[in-house]
Chains A and B, each alone.
Chain A
Amino acid sequence: MMLSAQNISVRLGRRDVLKGVDAAIGKGKIVAVIGPNGAGKSTLLRAMAGLLPLQEGRVILDGHDVAMMPSHELGRQIAYLPQDRTVHWPVAVERVVRLGRLPHVPSARDDEAVASALAAMDLGALASRPVTELSGGELARVLQARALAQEAPILIADEPAAGLDMAHVLSLFEHFKRLSEEGRSVLVALHDVALALRFCDKTVLLKDGSVLAAGATKDVVTPEEIGRAFGVEARIATLDHVPIVLAARTLT
């Protein structure tokens, strides 16, 4: 599975949110999209999931233009987790996760996929609770589990770590690692650039709708590039082999 955005431009309202962006995810890779607020991270993810009309360029999935693919077929190939965490009715957790099976023809696999997604996101005990009774972080895990239950070769997740406690952030990314070892691909938008350094093979750094840097994460998440993108003086270190990124001060 190979998903690539080729020179895509997206306009939302009167604003050019993406201007000629290239990005790609290969089979079994974890790719991070980072950048300051308003850089176009969410828009890039939605475009790559085939959910936005493009002004220019194409998004290609294994040789096929995603704009031409029927949406149920696309839903089997790409699972997309939006940043928006609204659930409109107080439906039970298990039923929300089961919505991930909608693109598939009903089969015995459905129950297994739902059960393993619930287990992966540590939701077994909450399965029958209405989503309205959950905390923000618990709800985030439910929606992540919905995307996992879709069992698509490609997972695109917009800020999946936001609102999670530190234990669940860690287990989420360890799960992403397992997915990538199974040959699946993960594309995530992140605010915590240290997570990119720790878990992601490649990183795309966006600023003002353009790619500032892209490539192996260690070449992209550097004090120089972070400084250029975010306007901060960054320090990068490792502690017990775990990378740490610190914004020391804002650059003026």
Chain B
Amino acid sequence: MSVLPDVPQKNLVEVLAQRQGLLLGLLSILVAIAFGLSLMLGPEGFGLPGGPGMAQLVLLEIRLPRAILGLLVGGALGLTGAALQGYLRNPLAEPGLLGMAGGASLGAVISIHTGLAALVPLALPLGGLAGAIVATLAVVLLAGQRSSPVTLILAGVALSSVAGALTSLVLNLAPNPFASVEMLYWMMGSLSDRSLEHVWIAAPLIIAGCAILLTTARGLDALTLGEVAAVNLGIELGSMRSRIVLGAALAVGAATAVTGAIGFVGLVVPHLLRPLVAHEPGRLLLPSALGGGVLVLAADVGLRLISPAGDLKLGVVTALIGAPFFLWLVLATRRELQA
């Protein structure tokens, strides 16, 4: 302190820390509002159906699972996106990159194809989980023991294309038109008609995955200076990679298994929030989880307002929000390069 009497950087730390608290507070309020709206919104607009027994039934059995899943799935996607972008030091990384979402989709589609989904109520999410597990193991084996982020991306992309090809094959060989429509609808991603059982399947896995991802904050900060400097700063890269893969697998695998593919959330949310945390990858994690929850809940509320009959799918709405965002990103990058 004696060297720099008026230490300007101390103020900066304080300001940033304050902003972090403020940001988390604001996002929590938004989560609460979106969650409340999601609970109160039904096919006949806001409010609960008449009769005390009926109101309770609808609230607990239909709307609560939907709101909880929206929050959890959005949180999982936002957090995984932020963690992968930090780990790979690439703002275009998204939760599907490592192949778990593709694996989960394939597993779910197979359980529809085989008729298991029609026989056993929870075969669909469990099939998705099985697919995510297989995909994760395959990515880890393919990437190898001492792999760099680049080999991990390559393995993930390779796995995603294999899963995508096999999913197309299953669709192609669908036993009847109804099955193929069911598969297509499932792949569009949705929160409707999910029960508390879906919550019980997904919640522990998503929460465990998110908790694991949150432990990587220091390592992500250190990786800002590259891998060699990060090791010199005491980061065990091997352990960090394992935590990233395991956390992403649990969070994204479970999320995709219960809701289908919901795109762009994991890409857009960290992008929007990054300037609010002064671009620090470690501090981006928690806000991204909250922001992801807000975005998915809000999109789900929005699509129910637009089409109360339920023919709009959540994954389609998030993609419709996300694609223009991509265009904006291109234009912003172009402006930056020209400046």
Contacts and interface: CB of A to CB of B under 8 A. Distances in A.
Contact of B223 (A88, A114, A115): A88
Interface stretch (A8-16, A76-84, A227-235): A76-84
A137 interface: no
Interface in B31-65: none
Interface stretch (B150-158, B233-241, B319-327): B233-241
Instruction: Identify which of A51, A94, A150 gathers the most chain B CB atoms within 10 Å of its CB.
Output: A94
A190 to B, nearest CB: 19
Interface string A141-166: 00100100010000000000000000
Given A89-B279, A128-B12, A102 B218 contact: yes
Interface in A68-104: 71-76, 78-80, 82, 84, 86-92, 94-96, 98-100, 102-103
Given A92-B278, A95-B278, A102 B225 contact: no
B322 to A, nearest CB: 22
Contacts of A86: 225-226
Interface string B267-293: 000000010001111000000000000
A191 B16 CA distance: 40
A75 B233 contact: yes
B236 A91 contact: no
B202 to A, nearest CB: 31
Nearest to A116: B3
A89 B274 CA distance: 10
A119 B236 CA distance: 30
Contacts of B222: 99, 102
Nearest to B281: A89
A71 B4 CA distance: 31
A98 B223 CA distance: 13
Contact of A91 (B4, B9, B232, B280): B280
Instruction: Identify which of B221, B225, B236, B278 gathers the most chain A CB atoms within 10 Å of its CB.
Output: B225
A102 B234 contact: yes
Chain A contact patch, size range: 35 or more
A129 B34 CA distance: 36
Nearest to A124: B4
A102 B279 contact: no
A99 B225 contact: yes
A21 interface: no
B229 interface: yes
A49 B228 CA distance: 10
Given A84-B228, A115-B9, A127-B8, A71 B3 contact: no
A11 B7 CA distance: 46
Nearest to B91: A89
A146 B222 CA distance: 11
A150 B233 CA distance: 8
A46 interface: yes
B7 A115 contact: yes
B278 A143 contact: no
A124 B8 contact: yes
A193 B270 CA distance: 47
Contacts of A150: 233
A118 B12 CA distance: 14
Contact of B3 (A89, A98, A99, A119): A119
Given A99-B221, A115-B3, A82 B226 contact: yes
Interface string B1-33: 101100111101100100000000000000000
Given A114-B9, A115-B9, A99 B233 contact: yes
Given A71-B231, A88-B89, 8 more contacts: A71-B232, A84-B228, A88-B224, A88-B226, A95-B16, A103-B234, A118-B4, A127-B8
27 contacts: A51-B232, A71-B234, A71-B236, A73-B234, A82-B225, A82-B229, A87-B224, A87-B225, A88-B89, A89-B89, A89-B274, A89-B280, A91-B224, A94-B9, A95-B278, A96-B225, A99-B221, A99-B224, A100-B233, A102-B235, A115-B1, A120-B3, A124-B8, A127-B9, A127-B12, A128-B9, A130-B279
Interface of A: 46, 49, 51, 71-76, 78-80, 82, 84, 86-92, 94-96, 98-100, 102-103, 111-112, 114-116, 118-120, 124, 127-128, 130, 143, 146, 150
